[in-house]
Structure 1
Amino acid sequence: MVTRVPGWLLRHRIAVEPYLGDSAYGPRYGARVQDVPALVAAVRTQVRDAEGREVLATAQIIAAPDLHCPPGSRVTLPDGRTATAISSASHTAPGLPVPASLEVMCG
């Protein structure tokens, strides 16, 4: 039974700086995690951000379910562009032969 998205499907590499919150000096980020396996697709779709506003997402990332990438995180995409995570959704199907994954929409 498949429990998580297979690594051989994650053909791209990204870097993630997890958003930790705001400080008096602006947003705070955790340590940069390099060489994260992911599947990245260029998209142009409307998604809702953490405040419920509709914003344009330009990248969809599928990664292992244990990736820590909350909304607001900085993501360096395979083409070198830095994007901001708009939303992240954990996909699971306990008991079914479907791989668990994390989907991150970036703008």
Structure 2
Amino acid sequence: MTRVPGWLLRHRIAIEPYRGDTAYGPSFGPQVVDIPALVAAVRTQVRDPEGREVLATAQIIAAPGLDCPPGSRVTLPDGRTATAISSASHTAPGLPVPASVEVMCG
């Protein structure tokens, strides 16, 4: 299986992976910076982990293995901080399409 080519991932993002809720609020892992990605400004409705329809304003395509669960804080190339709404791994074993991770942010 092929991976999304690195030369397509023109942007750099930073992610603080969501680790869960604590008595003091949400908990995040250490920030990972300089992650290669392809970021597109979008306005589309997606479903959050609870099944509600919400508006996504950014779509991120990255290499497989990206740790960005819903609720993670994402710093986009323009400096805006967004919250990951959904994360999906795309694979197609046996087909000539690249594997990638898609994250929708709001």
TM-score > 0.5 by shorter chain: yes
Q: 2:54 & 2:46 partners in 1: Cα distance?
A: 6
The residue type paired with residue 83 of structure 1 is A
Gaps of 5+ in 2: none
Which residue in 1 is equivalent to 2:43? 44
The residue type paired with residue 89 of structure 1 is A
Which residue in 2 is equivalent to 1:87? 86
Which residue in 2 is equivalent to 1:7? 6
Query: TM-score by structure 1 length?
Result: 0.97
The count of aligned residue pairs is 106
Deviation for aligned residue 1:92: 0.2
Query: TM-score by structure 2 length?
Result: 0.98
The residue type paired with residue 88 of structure 2 is A
Secondary structure in structure 2 of the residue aligned to 1:88? strand
Deviation for aligned residue 1:95: 1.2
Which residue in 2 is equivalent to 1:19? 18
Deviation for aligned residue 1:97: 1.1
After the TM superposition, list the runs of 4 or more consecutive aligned residues in structure 1 that deviate by more than 3 angstroms. Answer: none
Secondary structure in structure 2 of the residue aligned to 1:8? helix
The residue type paired with residue 77 of structure 2 is P
Deviation for aligned residue 1:96: 1.1
The residue type paired with residue 59 of structure 2 is Q
Task: State the identity %.
Answer: 87
